[in-house]
Amino acid sequence: MAVPAVAVIASSNVVLPSHPLIWYHGRWDSSRGTWWTGSGLTLHVEGLSSLSLQLGRKTTQPSVAVGLSVNYGPFTDLKLTNGTNQIPLNITATPRGGLPRSLVIRLNVQGWQNNNMYLEKIILNNGAKILPYAPSRLSFQFIGDSLSAGQYLSNGVDGAWPFLVAETFKAEQSIQAQPGGCLTDQVCWGNAHGISYQFFRTEDNGYYYNPNHNYTTPWDFHKDYPPTHVFIEAGANDNAYNVSGANLTTTYLGFIAKLRRIYPTQPIFVVGAWGWPDQDGTVYYYYDGVFEDVVAKRSALGDKHIYFIDTKGWVGWDDIFSDNKHPNTPGHAHIAEQLTAWLQKWGLKPQKSWPTVVG
Ligand SMILES: *[C@@H]1O[C@H](CO)[C@@H](O)[C@H](O)[C@H]1NC(C)=O
Ligand SMILES: *[C@@H]1O[C@H](CO)[C@@H](O)[C@H](O)[C@H]1NC(C)=O
Ligand SMILES: *[C@@H]1O[C@H](CO)[C@@H](O)[C@H](O)[C@H]1NC(C)=O
Ligand SMILES: *[C@@H]1O[C@H](CO)[C@@H](O)[C@H](O)[C@H]1NC(C)=O
Ligand SMILES: CC(=O)N[C@H]1CO[C@H](CO)[C@@H](O)[C@@H]1O
């Protein structure tokens, strides 16, 4: 007898956002709303045939861009709205026939701005049951600007190098990437604060333009699944705002000193500038020498877990959008490949498999 690919929903069961087995990641506020691109949740569900999310009134209007991956497959783009959204799972029968025993569903906001998804309810088919999710042993924390956020990509952060590298290593990720943000705590391109301030907050700088939540609150780092590796990419906007190299160095060292109180021994990687390539083959490298100097100064202070990643030559004219010089889709993939190779040479191996067994 043929087994239908998707079972008929007899009745449903409602899971509230406080359910202890929802695996949240990224930055959520106390009303269960996301900030910072890449924030989201992972569910491991037994007997799943239907999934809906009910989102609150403060969800980004007219919709919030969300990436969806089922069983660690590629991410697809969804636009979710306030109210109830049926999530297209496309569940297919297993090779042995029948529905998969359990599924891992990953959902994350992916826009470069306007990333408020307020979770009110998760609605599963009757009989479906949330199981514990075992996270990866690797967990990457990225801190950056538009070059890390995937600004101008149709799938935003889900197409950007931090996310791609995390996927390659089968690592959990948290990405605090603020387009237009200087590292220096000053107004840059409409951002009320610099990354060296906002990183420690729950909200990204979008709070300033959000009439529903026009304030910012401290982030409780105990809520994070602790990172095993920390990456910082910053400086492009400070350079545009004429912050001197000496000043950026001071700010960078102060920022790393603050990070060390949270991440005492994790490797911290300072990602150098791949610069702004030109059509004639030349590349403008902002803060040339400054990033390696920051790392040298930290090392001199006794920091044994600080590394400079030289990205010069990683990005050429074909890797960027010609009008705004941000990496394009193949450009982000190209950066991710080179960073992966760099990390492997450094000694980090991708996990062989994700620990939560599905199927
Ligand atoms: C969604 O939000 C809009 C604007 O606030 C509101 O008019 C509409 O009723 C909401 N829809 C649902 C289903 O909550
Ligand atoms: C589900 O299938 C539709 C149609 O083939 C496709 O557009 C969509 O990307 C699929 N979604 C997922 C999550 O694979
Ligand atoms: C948010 O608050 C600031 C003052 O702190 C004000 O300048 C700004 O206009 C407010 N924005 C919104 C959207 O309410
Ligand atoms: C930075 O300096 C350049 C060259 O002096 C100037 O044209 C530009 O307006 C300055 N930018 C800012 C934001 O001050
Ligand atoms: C270390 C350094 O260069 N600090 C300078 C940063 O910029 C301010 C002016 O905005 C100077 O007063 C500091 O001396």
Provide DSSP, 58-101. TSPSS-EEEEEEETT---EEEEE-SEEEE--------TTSS--S
Class of domain 14-131: mainly beta
**Residues 22, 18: Cα–Cα separation, whole Å:** 8
3-state SS, residue 357: coil
Select from 196, 197, 191, 194 the least CA-distant residue to 217.
197
Q: State the pLDDT at residue 2.
A: 44
Q: How far is the CA of 82 from the centre of ligand 1 (A)?
A: 6
Q: Enter the pTM of the model.
A: 0.94
Return the H-helix or E-strand segment holding 292: helix 290-300
Q: State the pLDDT at residue 5.
A: 47
**Residues 173, 165: Cα–Cα separation, whole Å:** 9
- Burial classification of residue 140, based on how many CB atoms lie within 10 Å of its CB (0-12 exposed, 13-18 middle, 19 or more buried): buried
Going by alpha carbons, the residue nearest to atom 5 of ligand 5 is: 247
Ligand closest to 61 (CA) is 1
CA atoms within 13 A on the CB side of 277: 20
3-state SS, residue 343: helix
The fold of the 139-346 domain, in CATH, is Rossmann fold (3.40.50)
The structural domains of the chain, with segments of one domain joined by +, span: 14-131, 139-346
Contact 162, 334 (CB under 8 A): no
3-state SS, residue 316: coil
Q: Does ligand 4 come within 6 angstroms of the Cβ of 244?
A: no
Parts of the chain with a pLDDT under 50: 1-10
Ligand 2 probe mutation, 6, 71, 90, 110, most atoms within 8 A of CB: 90
Q: Six-digit token pair at 34?
A: 């996301």
Backbone angles phi, psi at 121, to 5 degrees: -150, 150
**Residues 76, 73: Cα–Cα separation, whole Å:** 9
Strands ordered across the beta sheet of 51-55: 12-15, 119-125, 51-55, 83-86
Q: Does ligand 5 come within 6 angstroms of the Cβ of 244?
A: yes
